[in-house]
A and B are shown apart, each in its own frame.
Chain A
Amino acid sequence: MRRRGTEVADTRPALLCGGEPVAIAEVLPRRRVVVLGQVTHMRARPTDGIPSLAVTISDGTGAVTAVWTGRRAIGGITLGRRLAVEGVGRLVGDRLEFTNPSYELQP
């Protein structure tokens, strides 16, 4: 990965190795991608009594939903937070949904 030293703030996800973030409007289902956006909705969504957390992330071109199973909250993920997620999306209705994607909190 390209390093530009400490003087320039590099806002690209550092831990996620899936490459450059892709505009959400251009994300195709069933391809591994990194998307970067702001949390616009958060909802605890239990299935058969098992908790899960659904987080909608929007980057201005579109929105995706990330679902983490087995938990009601994730430390650091709050409304308005900038977040990078990497995963494989599938269409649920007209929205792409990622199941248990890797994520990184962004400044």
Chain B
Amino acid sequence: MRVRIVGAGSVGRYMAVQLATSGHDVTILDQDPQVVSRHRWLHEGVHWEEGDGCEPATLARVGAAEVDVVAAVTGDDEDNLVVSLLAKQEYAVPRVVARVNNPNNEWMFNETWGVDVSVSTPHLLTGLVEEAVNVGSFVRLLSFDQGRARLAEVTLADTSPAIGNEIAALGLPRESTVVAVLRSAQVVVPRGDTVLLAGDEVLVLVTGDAEPDVRRVLVG
């Protein structure tokens, strides 16, 4: 995949190295020449460009018209929104990912601003804290596709109606899929005949309005 990352802070650099290591074509863009020169040799697979990602000409220079993904991950929500809008409006980039710094701005990170996926660290942290302290409740971790698909997690309490049942027999709605089961620090790849146990952390991908049904099946 061709990925362009705007913002070479710790988030952007981490993503660039991870994606380049997985073999993707990665260019990272930052407007601060010092940042670019300091990190230029971070990873041989990562290309660096200096420039302002809020300028259409800069995005054109890094090949925005052909890339598969643009990730706007600067520390400024305003910049991330402008980059997202330009990527979608001027270059029809298929997948635009944007970082939300201030959770109060999260409502703007949607289709209107060209954002396909928004990632809010504070929101995610809240979700993970909830997930750590709550057994037997339904915790939303991430949302994709403008909120039409959500990744949720349920740690099965002793009272969950799902315990002892095979996944295929749970009666989960068609709009949901169990994507992973975390069991005593191991990841179990779920199959139809996987039997759920108390204490399992079940990760479910939920689309549409299926959430109440998933909750009923897993939480009770």
* Chain A residues in the interface with B (C-beta under 8 A): 29-30, 47-48, 50, 52, 69-70, 87-90, 99-100
A87–B107 alpha-carbon span in the complex (Å): 26
Closest B residue to A87 by beta carbon equals B89
How many interface residues does chain B have, given as a range? Answer: 10 to 19
B20-28, B109-117, B130-138, B176-184: which lies at the A interface?
B109-117
A–B complex contacts, Cβ < 8 Å, 13 sampled: A47-B110, A47-B112, A48-B146, A48-B147, A50-B112, A52-B112, A88-B65, A88-B89, A88-B90, A88-B91, A88-B92, A99-B88, A99-B92
B220 interface residue per 8 A CB criterion: no
Q: How far is the CA of A29 from the CA of B113 in the complex (A)?
A: 20
Contact of B92 among A48, A70, A89 (CB under 8 A): A89
Which of B66, B91, B94, B112 is the one whose CB lies under 8 Å from A69? Answer: B112
Report the 4 A-B pairs with minimum CB-CB distance, sorted nearest first: A90-B92, A99-B89, A69-B112, A88-B92
**How near does chain B come to A94, taking the closest CB pair, in angstroms?**
16
How far apart sit A100 and B111, CA to CA, in the bound complex (Å)?
Answer: 12
- Also in contact, A48 and B89, with CB within 8 A (given A30-B66, A69-B112, A70-B112): no
A29 and B90 alpha carbons, distance in the complex (Å) = 12
- Tell me the minimal C-beta distance from B204 to chain A in angstroms: 23
In the complex, what's the smallest C-beta–C-beta distance from A39 to chain B, in angstroms?
A: 20
Taking CB atoms, residues of chain A closer than 8 Å to B90 are 88
Tell me if B110 and A29 are in contact (CB < 8 A). Answer: no
A90: which of B94, B112, B147 is its contact (CB, 8 Å)?
B94
Q: Smallest Cβ distance from A43 to chain B, in angstroms?
A: 15
Taking CB atoms, residues of chain A closer than 8 Å to B91 are 30, 88
Give Cα A87 to B65, complex, Å: 12
Residues of A within 8 A of B107 (CB): 48
Query: Which chain B residues numbered 76 to 91 have a C-beta less than 8 Å away from chain A?
Result: 88-91
Chain A residue nearest to B92 in the complex (CB): A90
- Chain B: minimal CB distance from A90 (Å): 4
